[in-house]
Amino acid sequence: MAGSVNDVVEEARRLFRSSFGGLDPEVAVCAPGRVNLIGEHTDYNQGFVLPMALPLVTVMVGSKSSDQNVSIITLTEAVEDPRRVDFVLSEDGASLSPGQPSWANYIKGVLHHYRASPLPGFRAVVASSVPLGGGLSSSASLEVAVYTFLQQLCPDDGDMVAKALVCQQAEHTHAGVPCGIMDQFVSVMAKKDHALLIDCRTLEGTLVPLKDPKLVILITNSNVRHSLTGSEYPTRRRQCEEAAAILGKGSLREATLQDLEGAKEQLDSVTLQRAHHVIEEIERTARAAEALKRGAYREFGKLMVESHNSLRDQYEVSCKELDELVSATLEVEGVYGSRMTGGGFGGCTVTLLEAEAVEKTMEHVKERYSGTPTFYITTPSDGARVLEL
């Protein structure tokens, strides 16, 4: 398990002091990564998703400066060099244009779209326990941490939905990823001991209790890196938009399987499959949230497996490693359900299981999986917050 929030903060503080003249940072914030329990590739189709925030977080510590100079250092080793960026906040915003190193674009995007002004210069260190490229939303946790940090330097009106939307917009404009709203929304809004059912059409969140002490959420990282800026994610998104247009709907959220059946002559076979997954997955997610509220874990687990199979066969975003992890996990007594989570082509699986089955599940997966897995035993955590220094 990755270090606690305090460990990550301490590491960031040490680097801040050694990099900026021995001074201690004045502000510390964190924002969590997330795991999506069910509802994959439904968010940009205005459907339902059911994520929860993780104890894994991105931390930002720093202090306001007396001028417009910004200096940011990242502790994340997996990013490309340089690990420090310096720029001046200019009136025309030119300094916030995307460029190299690419990790800084997420930060510049949030600065560019931030909802209050004038932003002061600042010095900051970013550190994270969210694995990069693992499908646990390291990018959204960074964006939301940056926004939360800026709120301490130059307060906005506190609108939480608007905050999530700015962080999403930053990813669209500065990182070039046309992501849905789920990751940023849950990183802002999550509550401890709850999953969050998000209606991506109305942007309403409903807390779903998930605090049975006999239950555990196990995340297994395949350690196969994925990148959403590749062609696959935008292609899937475009296919869904094409299907909705042919069906005469604003989005696939408004479509039914009957609609799809009626239009199948007009859709090519691949687009038909993509739409089929999305329409069923939206409905599956609503049913799964109800099952969780009732404590019907077997039913929930069955829906997770159906979701994985659909992502593998109809949406075609799984990969050999993820399929291997899911099938190995499902062989263990006490496992309710397991599925790939995140954009796909690598990253993690998420498993709902009895707490007492965790050890044997991890042992079994290690024996059966051809790669080297990393495990995170997690419970639903709080969203973005300011930390005491």
Which among 347, 346, 345, 349 has a CA at the least distance from the CA of 337? 349
Tell me the C-alpha distance between 272 and 58, whole Å. Answer: 38
Tell me the C-alpha distance between 96 and 316, whole Å. Answer: 36
What stretch of H or E contains 110? helix 103-113
Contact 48, 24 (CB under 8 A): no
What stretch of H or E contains 263? none
Q: Is the peptide bond before 51 cis (omega within 30 degrees of 0)?
A: no
Tell me the C-alpha distance between 38 and 342, whole Å. Answer: 10
Enumerate the active-site residues.
Answer: 183
Q: Residue 180's beta-bridge partner residues?
A: none
CA distances from 203 to 184, 230, 375 (A): 12, 27, 31
The type of residue at 104 is A
